[in-house]
């Protein structure tokens, strides 16, 4: 086997640590996140899921949101956490796993070996695939309704 150069090792390490979530699309934020993105034309970040086409526009695989969109998502997550905490506090802790495509919540659950549903036919909550913009639209509507209450 060939030994990797130090530069190749560093590149592979950065690639393995690359964040795959969404980033604020503000040029200032992107520039401070990864200096490579200052060049724009045809560059790809090794730090976040952002790349630029040769013409300098964001690439189709870039995962970016506006500041407002990130606030909507953060608000949605906060409301969901409050709701779930309230349910747990009220004693509502029934087994209610999801299924998304071929993946289920049971695939990652550390309690699968002691679950009272193990060995039985499990009924899953089916999560239908949606595009990111559809999800954002739903979250935005929910967040605007909460502000109006």
| 75, 146 contact by CB (below 8 A) | yes
Give Cβ neighbours of residue 37 (< 8 Å, ≥ 6 apart): 30, 31, 43, 45, 50, 52
Strands (E), 51-143: 64-65, 98-100, 103-104, 125-127
Mean pLDDT of 62-74: 93
What are 89-119's pLDDT values in tens digits?
A: 999 988 888 999 999 988 888 887 787 665 6
- Confidence check: pLDDT of 120 > 80: no
- Residue 51 DSSP code: B
Q: Which phi and psi angles does 99 have, rounded to 5°?
A: -135, 125
- What mean pLDDT do residues 6-19 have? 85
Entry pTM: 0.74
Mean pLDDT value of segment 63-74? 93
Alpha helical stretches, state H, 18-94: 27-33, 67-89
Cα distances from 147 to residues 68, 75, 144, in angstroms, run 14, 11, 5
Q: What is the CA radius of gyration of the chain?
A: 21
Using DSSP's 3-state secondary structure scheme, residue 104 falls into: strand
How many Cα atoms are found within 13 Å in the side-chain-facing hemisphere of 19? Answer: 11
């Amino acid at each position: 086997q060939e030994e990797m150069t130090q530069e190749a090792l560093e590149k592979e390490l950065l690639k393995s640590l690359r964040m795959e979530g969404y980033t604020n699309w503000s040029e200032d934020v992107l520039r401070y996140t990864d200096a490579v993105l200052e060049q724009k034309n045809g560059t790809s970040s090794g730090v976040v899921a952002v790349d630029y086409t040769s013409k300098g526009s964001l690439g189709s695989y870039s995962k970016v949101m506006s500041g407002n969109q990130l606030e909507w998502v953060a608000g949605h997550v906060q409301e969901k956490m409050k709701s779930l905490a309230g349910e747990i506090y009220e004693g509502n802790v029934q087994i209610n796993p999801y299924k998304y495509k071929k993946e289920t919540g049971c695939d990652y659950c550390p309690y699968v070996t002691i679950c009272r549903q193990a060995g039985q036919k499990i009924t899953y909550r089916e999560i239908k695939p949606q595009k990111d913009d559809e999800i954002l639209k739903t979250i935005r509507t929910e967040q605007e309704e909460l502000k109006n209450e």
